[in-house]
Structure 1
Amino acid sequence: MYTIEAFILMDTEGKRIIAKYYNHVMPTLKEQAAFEKNLFDKVRRQPGGEILMLDGHIVTYKNSVDTFMVIVGSLEENELLLANVLQVFHEALTILLKGPPEKRAMMEHMDVVVLALDETIDEGVILEAEPNVIASRITRRVADNDLPLSEQSLTQALQSARDQLAKSLLS
């Protein structure tokens, strides 16, 4: 059932920005770091490529301004499906960040990036394949929580807490 083994976002120097490994693939940080170093060495030499095989995995990647977005799957997975998921995530970020995903914008809006990733992939399973749907779900969440608690009046803070409690009880 698991389709995606890992999602990795790294900068053009090979430094990890975000990495999520699913289904206990490469469970130790040491294994992950070694894989990411090897991955970066390959991707850096082939910036125009999109799909490669590495250490018994299919890797799809996309260079976006000053970052590399990577999805890792098993050899049995369809590489076109993996590439499509990566494209959907990239397009969702382009919508949400109002421009091509670049390191500075993603670092400033890390919460949005993580939400977009979680709306796209959950524990290695593809949840959504439409970038507009992903973006609309996230913008709705962000709009609901526009003001930080420190800037809300006491009444607004109590109402927000009441709403969140009601949501958690009904779930």
Structure 2
Amino acid sequence: MSLNISLYTVSALLILDNEGNRLYAKYYTSTLEEQQPQKETSKSTTTSKSTSSKSQTQLKFEKKLFSKINKINQDIILYDNQLIVYKQINDVTFILTSPINENECMAYTTLSNLIEAITILLNNSIDQQIIIQNYDLVSLAIDETIDDGIIIEYDPATIVSRVTNAPIASTVDLKNIDISEKGLFNALSFAGKKLSERLNQGL
């Protein structure tokens, strides 16, 4: 039995309101989109029609999925050949979709920890209005958790830290750099030592 192992474990991340309307949506793969034949037209017309069709398909998927979720009181379901993990908090529903062969425990843990990080960022209160007001923090938290369908972080504290602490710009004081022959020799010897240490460690 061959296993289909891939880093791309998330198809989409959705946040819907209590009527199934989109608050946030990010699709990482085209598995949720219908492939429709297109007539030969100009490139710009084809692109705009394709984008419009894609958007309509996604909105229909979200509406149907929301109606399905409301009928079933579970955290993990299978729908439209997708693994769906979701959590409803107040008037907001967080949904993570993955290919059907993915690990449901990993998907559920990722979504739970992402929601925990967002809860910390939003001062322990999540509802539709607060998410809209703090859309930037929510978007950053999702981007720090999932990148291009790959789960890159699942620790809530780390996610919060990355969102709240801006990266420090590495500034170099050019006045203190010794560009003489001796300075260049010292730099080369230092680099050589570091390289030999890495090679000795087998890295």
**TM-score normalised according to structure 2 size:** 0.67
Q: Which moved more, 1:25-34 or 1:80-89?
A: 25-34
Q: Structure 2 unaligned runs (5+)?
A: 1-5, 34-53, 172-203
C-alpha deviation, 1:30, in angstroms? 2.0
Question: Does 1:72 find its partner at 2:97?
Answer: yes
The structural deviation recorded for 1:100 is 3.2
Shift of 1:4: 0.3
Structure 1: tracts of 5 or more residues without a match: 145-162, 167-171
Question: Which portions of structure 1, spanning 4 or more consecutive aligned residues, are displaced by more than 2 angstroms?
Answer: 23-27
- What is the aligned length? 145
Map of 1:98 onto structure 2: 123
Structure 1 position 20 matched with structure 2 position 26: yes
Does residue 35 of structure 1 match 2:79?
A: no
Q: Which residue of 1 aligns with 2:147?
A: 122
- The 1-side partners of 2:120 and 2:143 are apart by 16
Distance 2:74 2:128 in 1: 20
Match of 2:79 in 1: 54
Matches within 5 A, 1:148-167: none
CA contact (8 A) 1:89 1:116 kept: yes
- The correspondence for 2:12, drawn from 1, 6, 16, is 6
On the 8 A contact 1:9/1:16 being kept in 2, the answer is yes
User: Counterpart amino acid of 1:119?
Assistant: E
Deviation, structure 1 residue 139: 1.1
1:23, CA displacement in angstroms? 2.2
Give the share of equivalent positions with the same residue, in percent.
34
Q: Distance in 2 between matches of 1:45 and 1:99?
A: 28
* Distance in 1 between residues matched to 2:30 and 2:70, nearest whole Å: 26
CA RMSD of aligned residues (A): 1.8
Higher alpha-carbon Rg:
2
